[in-house]
Amino acid sequence: MERFSEEQLKAHLVLTNDEFRHLFEEHHVLDEKLVALEAKDRLTYDEQMEETRLKKLKLHAKDRMQQILSEQLALA
């Protein structure tokens, strides 16, 4: 495998790795939902709980994407 910068590798994985692409898309959707919640002046209790849940899911997706990147960089 040729050497990629981290950004190039991310772009490559989005195109070639189904799991990475799914995580990338999920991370983006979760971010959009969080931005919408954070735009509100005040959050209800349920919205606060949803915000926490979304942040955890987003972090999990990011951690797994980073793990995949690290594995691919180790192979290079």
Helices 6-16 and 18-38 meet at what angle, rounded to 10? Answer: 110
The predicted structure's pLDDT at residue 74 = 87
Q: How many domains does the chain have?
A: 1
At a CB cut-off of 8 Å and minimum separation 6, what does 24 contact?
A: 10, 13, 14, 61, 65
pTM of the model: 0.86
Residue 1 lies in a domain: no
Q: What are phi and psi of 44, to 5 degrees?
A: -70, 170
Mean pLDDT of 44-70: 97
Whether 70 is in a domain gets the answer: yes
What residues make up the domain containing 26?
6-75
Inter-CA distances, 59 with 3, 20, 31, 49, 53, Å? 27, 14, 10, 15, 10
Average pLDDT of the residues in 18-24: 98
pLDDT value at 24 more than 60: yes
